[in-house]
Structure 1
Amino acid sequence: MLESLKVKIVEVAIKAENYGLCKEKAGNFSIRDKDTGYILITPSGIGREELKTEHICVLDLDGNVIEAEKGIKPSSEVLMHIEIYKVRANVNAVSHTHSLYATAFSVANKPIIPIVYESVNYGGYVDIAPYERPGTLELAKSVSKLLLDTDACLLERHGLTTVSNDLEDALLKSRYVEEAAEIYYRSLVLNQFKEPKAVDIDEFAEWKYPEEIKF
């Protein structure tokens, strides 16, 4: 069922590890099929080095498992993915990673400000969903509420979640956030922890392709 989407999830999950966004068995990724409304998600307890398409689980928005190999369970963070899809009709992909710098900001409970213009790619500020036990409905609702108006949020003492209409793009947003987090951290260190100036959010709305270029 939905084999091409399973292939995409496996590809993106492996890329995420290769990019250093998550290690071992941490992190999870999902796609919502636009035709059936089903959610395809990475499994619980299987590392990327052994991840195959047959490990990808299929569920509906009520949490009913439609397809899963015997002995395989959906990621324990599946409720977070479900709640995000419930509140964001325009989202069809979710990436949850544990990258070093972004997670450090989540541990410090410090939002990531739009330190570079590339922050426009995920909405600018990356706020933090208050700590809730991983895998719980409380965490799922906390994260989905924060993602109503942005495409990236930190989970306190946990990691980063990004969303998009496409899983490759959701992963790209995770990479943009991690880069911004590293630049932010290094700028704080260089300036003896004096806060750098953020890019004004209005700048994002004002940007347009150079009119001087003629087609």
Structure 2
Amino acid sequence: MIEVIPVIDLRGGIAVAGKSGERENYRPLETVFSSAPDPVNIALSLRAAGARSIYIADLDAIEGTGSNLDSVGRVNHVLPVTLDAGVKNRETFRFMLQFASRVVAATETLESTEELEYILKTYPPERTVVSVDVKDMKLHSENIDLELEEFRDLLLGYESDVILLDLGAVGTSSGFNRDLLELFRPIIRRVIPGGGVLPNEIPEFEAMGVRKVLVGRALHEGMVRPG
């Protein structure tokens, strides 16, 4: 059965929510799983509702303005955390492993494909996740200049899960980018779609061979159950 992984973003020690990746406009998260935007309380409620893990984006760490790693560590005692905290290279990846069960190496912040391949070769796939960050069907990265097809092919020789994150759809409940999903069909069993996922799309994803999906807004509004 497909795993619905809850998503929360952290800024300044609290859970926040935004739309289309416009981080400057994020506000405290309103969720059916907690009366306050406290990440530990949210995680406890999600676990009680059936969640098996949780995805956390540490916005302060990604933006280089601080971090929420203490909060992440506490949440990781409640639910296994898949953490995106702005990994740049092998050193930052190794550091983040102290706080979460799995650490994301995201194209948005990685210094190079060489650093990514070192991480994928060195650490077990159970602890590594690659995030393919996409805007307008282009790889979103400060440092990696590859077409999406080229980046997909780079991943063929590895076993780690691959998040497909359509940044323009984050927080919109607009439906997942099907063209993006089709492009990554060769590794579909490792793909984790994220960004705008709708409840009625989840059974279709499962039929395609997808085993995990990231859900934020639809889950926090009570339209989707975790787990």
Same fold (TM over 0.5): no
TM-score interval (norm. to shorter): 0.3 to 0.5
More helix by share: 1
More strand by share: 2
Return the TM-score normalized by structure 1.
0.35
Return the TM-score normalized by structure 2.
0.33
